[in-house]
Amino acid sequence: MSTFKEYAKRAKERMKNGFWEQAHDNIRNEQKVAATLGLNTRKVGEEGRRMLERRIYDYDGFCEEQEFYNRVVSILESDELVSNPIMRLADKEYMERLTPAERQSYISKLASKYRAAVEKYRSLHK
């Protein structure tokens, strides 16, 4: 299926399923919660809009990011003591094909994504 047809199909599904109403409600609710916690509601709204935009225009990247975040959450919430979460999150088959320099770069990027996911988790679960 062509990319244009995929975009059109996804847009039609969003309209049918009440996606926009739900998205606006979610952003408003997040702003209300932020206001009760003393956070900047404008920044929370902007972040919600950016996530919404990413979800629509970079669907595959958004899903990949959400999957990574969910894996980080499962590590953080597990009762098991994880001594090296970065290696647990790494794609070992992919790493086998990399040179040592590329492997180091991959691990650094993965560590950065992990730190961002942990910060997001902690900010949401205070």
Domain boundary at 19, 41, 57, which?
57
The domain total for the chain is 2
Task: For residue 33, give its domain range.
Answer: 1-57
Average pLDDT value for the chain:
86
- Distance between CA 75 and CA 93 in Å, rounded? 21
Same domain, 70 and 108: yes
Please give the average per-residue pLDDT across 59-79, as a whole number.
84
Same domain, 36 and 9: yes
Tokens of 56: 């629509």
On the 0-12 / 13-18 / 19+ scale of CB atoms within 10 A, 101 is exposed
CB 114 within 8 Å of CB 85:
yes
**Distance of alpha carbon 4 from the chain centroid:** 25
Q: Is 36 helix (H, G, I), strand (E, B) or coil?
A: helix
Q: How confident is the model at residue 72 (pLDDT cuts 50, 70, 90)?
A: very high
- The CA distances from residue 113 to 30, 104, 107, in Å, are 23, 14, 10
Q: How confident is the model at residue 75 (pLDDT cuts 50, 70, 90)?
A: very high
Question: What is the helix (H) or strand (E) element at residue 98, kind and residue range?
Answer: none
Q: How confident is the model at residue 85 (pLDDT cuts 50, 70, 90)?
A: very high
- Distance between CA 24 and CA 27 in Å, rounded? 5
Domain boundary at 41, 57, 73, which?
57
**pLDDT value at 28 more than 70:** yes
> Which tens digit of pLDDT belongs to each residue from 94-126?
899 989 999 999 999 999 999 999 998 888 776
Q: How confident is the model at residue 2 (pLDDT cuts 50, 70, 90)?
A: low
Same domain, 22 and 72: no
Same domain, 5 and 36: yes
Say what the pLDDT of residue 73 is.
92
Please give the average per-residue pLDDT across 36-41, as a whole number.
84
Say what the pLDDT of residue 126 is.
63
Q: Which of 100, 104, 124 is CA-nearest to residue 112?
A: 104
Same domain, 45 and 86: no
- Distance between CA 86 and CA 113 in Å, rounded? 10
Same domain, 70 and 48: no
**pLDDT value at 89 more than 70:** yes
